[in-house]
Chains A and B, each alone.
Chain A
């Protein structure tokens, strides 16, 4: 399984990731991707920008471990994850792309990777709003979502 993990400040190009995951392969029947964008309303209205902090080294290892866990649960041919860090305006901040011979594995693995990423990968989000800056709190709903894969 091909794993392509990137943590970067720069904007990402989903087409470039698609090309990296599919180049010279004829065994891929499905590609599913998720892109996470910044909403203008989160815990408070008027989110103007956000700052993503990570733990260099540990974050990349954690993302790779999540990709490998997905590969152990579904027959995948590739997993690509790009997560942006630093101060970002309202752009896409995360991309998860999964390829497989069949669509069901790709859909489920993509969902699984996002749930794990939100609860296990060392990233911290600070929102800059019209009424001040604050660190985003963890959400029970994210843990509930991630918990679905433990019961399954």
Chain B
């Protein structure tokens, strides 16, 4: 099918793998895609970049048959088609690697790969055939995975590899990757990009969806920018720059670099000695964590998610008691025997912006005004005792909404109806307004737009300059490197190293995050190499 259509195309114009014209899709009142056009050249790596909620995921979901477009045309290899479901998409040679993997966790790699494409009623017969194909694919593309491993026991990077193999197994000539690097270490990202380049050499067309400028610059041939459900630009990657792309994404000039002045550390605010956290079934989440945080500095904690950072925040904010060790906040000592709780620590001046704002930061059905006082409802500062005064609550909320540029500025709107960035600003506004001595921040910009990221970063620096100590946990290395005065790296529940701001680079951090001390590492320039 591919060959035929490519031949009819001929001429000087490059053959198109995908052509979308005037795609529209609404969810109720939300117009997620508005007259979207897209041309993807066969055999290219084409990036689609845009902020969260720009409509990228909706667009590729339409392409993969998860949603039906309200109207518009889809052509695959120059043939107009309709894609009603995933089976149709697979039939047209489209494969997708979802942001949240579509793998059955307790199945083997082999079972996952053949699921839906067994080719025979008996599992044994299909398994044998699939095994052969899988071995061949592994060799052709350098995608080695043990077919008999249970998927949930594989590291995330390998799980993603299984997803790619799954698509290739189904004969994909067009591979869509939706935010593929969100869960990967820098090293795994480099490996992924190597795989993508190998695929391109074999003639596979790749559509890469991301919100990371660096990735677009490192690997794509062409890039399309989406904003507010519309396509705002189609560019050749070589002809553009991160600054231009950022401006197109946000619709105004964005400062990619934070204005970071040298810190002036004061007296210690937090001192932790040999903190350990072991679960009832013997799993060590934290091992011998010792650290000191001083007034007026930001200490970043880097690490691949799931290496103890979340537990560290839980212990320091008083949600969980350590199983051994202790920490001092000011003059108060917290140990296993004298545990604390979040409200006591809050009174000692510890504020906490939790990693998962939906779970611990706000209550989605509550109004913004109510979410704005969670945990502080009984304090003097709120002038609220047993009775809540709706007018005070609203007044207080709209003041902060103005100060933190929270949109829309409606205190009575349910928290769920704000965008991710504005929800995060509600949490941040609440915690910063308490004028903390120590601020614990987890993933401050997860799922937050570039524009809001810029604002949040400015707020954190301003708070530091006022003398607050900030512990910043993030999986975004760029964020850690641009905000922190010192960087701690966690791996497997331990602090495996500390770097000063000046010493830190991505390669070094990546290796430490992976628990390797060796020197063979990766930089952005190396990510680009080979293209």
Q: A and B: partners?
A: no
Contact surface of B with A, Cβ cutoff 8 Å: none
Residues of A at under 8 Å CB distance from B? none
